[in-house]
Amino acid sequence: MTSRRQLLFGAGGLALAGVAGRAWQQGLLGGGNPALAAWDDWSSGRLVGPLKLVGAGVLAASPHNSQPWSFAVGRLGVDIFEVPGRNLGAMDPFGRERLAGLGAAIHNMALASTAAGRAARVRLLPDPGNPAHVARILLGPEGSGPAPHPLLPFIGRRHTHRGPWRGGTLADARMAAVLNFPAFAGVRVALFAAGSAAGQRFAALTSDATAAIVADAAMMADSHRWMRHERRDADRLKDGLTLATAGVSPWLAGLAALLPAPSAASEGDHWLANTRDQQLPTASLFGLILTPTPHDRRSALLVGSAWQRLHLNATAAGLVAQPLNQLPEIIDREAQLRQPPRFARLADALLDDAAWRPSFAFRLGLADTPAPPALRRPVSAVIGHPARMEWEVEQWRAAGGAF
Ligand SMILES: Cc1cc2nc3c(=O)[nH]c(=O)nc-3n(C[C@H](O)[C@H](O)[C@H](O)COP(=O)(O)O)c2cc1C
């Protein structure tokens, strides 16, 4: 006869198997994930020449991990194209964040050119006839480049950290290390200590902006499209956001994995609580990337490059980072709906010069555990239009172009 103990163990075993099964489905368990192979492709050094640049480009930050890029590779360099279909809809109505993601990829690629040992020239928006052609990186001959950039090892270690952090203040030297980069034309960074009056204003505004987004069903529905709650979707699509990178503890993620996939509305409630009660109160520093012209395509690209660089610097300095873009997102949404610019006016209280507008918002700090890597499409999935690059570069050469 089956004892109660056996029954209990049996039921417990079944429940555990259920948790494990669901956790696997959500990508929380199981090694050798093909949707994470792009990280290893870069770190192993197996990519060579212009493909090395693409390998670094695909590891860049992008809004909701939408990876809005495709690349054309030629012997002499790489063209980078915007893919407007990979969009956030009402969360990014003017495509400003999409361009920031592309700017982030361009910056990673410029750094990676030093690993390829070839001098690089980056031209933004090189083709006035094709605005989706966001950049061309031309490479000089082998051996023409500068020494490998010291940030190269951090390209594969930079991950967005959404968990609770340690809090506390940061030494000035660490803040200076984060801001140590060459100027991006028309872009400035403002930092606020979390405990300062400006830091508290930033936190309150970000919390209010999150609540406003959660109340906007169209924004939440468009955000929900990028959630990957099933392992089979994550494996197939290799993009979007998962429970594994949501910043919840592994045991809570395991428990949540037992439940059916959440609706857009319950994702919103969780996001608001997480932002207000966990992410904002445990940051050391808040920051804004500012530009006078957030919707100018070049400015939006440069804002994204600045974020990528800032996050790489932070990683190298032993800090963790997370974008918190609710404020610029709701400002754009109000503009799209032609509503009074309530949040744009509230943001003025954070700025010393209201002509410089917030285009990217973030937190920085210290954490006890590292953030996990996010899904990525590998190089082979993002290469197209090779003939175009060849043809155009050949033309450039025929016209007497020299490096
Ligand atoms: C323009 C832009 C906006 C972003 N906004 C947010 C945000 O508001 N909150 C957040 O947690 N992550 C945000 N991210 C981070 C992305 O979700 C993240 O880069 C992506 O999921 C890939 O993960 P990884 O950065 O760890 O590689 C943003 C990234 C970019 C480039």
Dist. CA 226–CA 221, nearest whole Å? 9
Kindly state the average pLDDT of the residues 98-113. Answer: 98
Residue found by looking up tokens 């960074």 in the block: 189
pLDDT of residue 53: 97
Please tell me the distance between residue 218's alpha carbon and the centre of ligand 1 in angstroms. Answer: 20
Whole-prediction pTM value?
0.91
pLDDT of residue 251: 77
pLDDT of residue 350: 92
Reported confidence tier of residue 191, pLDDT bands at 50, 70, 90? very high
Kindly state the average pLDDT of the residues 387-391. Answer: 58
Dist. CA 285–CA 324, nearest whole Å? 12
Sequence letter at residue 171: A
Residue 62 pLDDT greater than 70, yes or no: yes
Helix, strand, coil % over all residues of the chain, rounded to 5: 45, 15, 40
pLDDT of residue 227: 95
Residue bearing the CA closest to ligand 1, atom 2: 63
Does residue 182 or residue 111 have the better pLDDT?
A: 111
pLDDT of residue 252: 78
Enter the tokens of residue 363. Answer: 């937190």
What letter would DSSP give residue 242? -
What is the sign of the dihedral through the CA atoms of 158, 204, 63 and 26?
A: positive
Please tell me the distance between residue 376's alpha carbon and the centre of ligand 1 in angstroms. Answer: 13
Residue 236 pLDDT greater than 90, yes or no: yes
Residue bearing the CA closest to ligand 1, atom 19: 61
Enter the tokens of residue 11. Answer: 């039921």
Dist. CA 245–CA 274, nearest whole Å? 13
Domains, the chain: 34-155+381-398 (3.40.109), 172-365 (3.40.109.10)
pLDDT of residue 8: 31
Reported confidence tier of residue 23, pLDDT bands at 50, 70, 90? low
Please tell me the distance between residue 316's alpha carbon and the centre of ligand 1 in angstroms. Answer: 18
pLDDT of residue 375: 98
Please, are residues 80 and 57 in contact by the beta-carbon 8 Å criterion?
A: yes
pLDDT of residue 193: 96
**pLDDT more than 70, % of the chain:** 88
pLDDT of residue 15: 45
pLDDT of residue 254: 75
Residues at CB less than 6 angstroms from ligand 1: 61-65, 97, 100-101, 104, 159-160, 162, 241, 304, 322-325, 374
pLDDT of residue 253: 76
Please tell me the distance between residue 61's alpha carbon and the centre of ligand 1 in angstroms. Answer: 6
Residue found by looking up tokens 């197939």 in the block: 236
Kindly state the average pLDDT of the residues 360-380. Answer: 97
Please tell me the distance between residue 325's alpha carbon and the centre of ligand 1 in angstroms. Answer: 9
Closest ligand 1 atom to Cα of 104: 31
pLDDT tens digits, one per residue of 259-305: 788 888 888 999 999 999 999 999 999 999 999 999 999 999 999 99
Does residue 22 or residue 321 have the better pLDDT?
A: 321
Does residue 2 or residue 298 have the better pLDDT?
A: 298
pLDDT of residue 124: 98
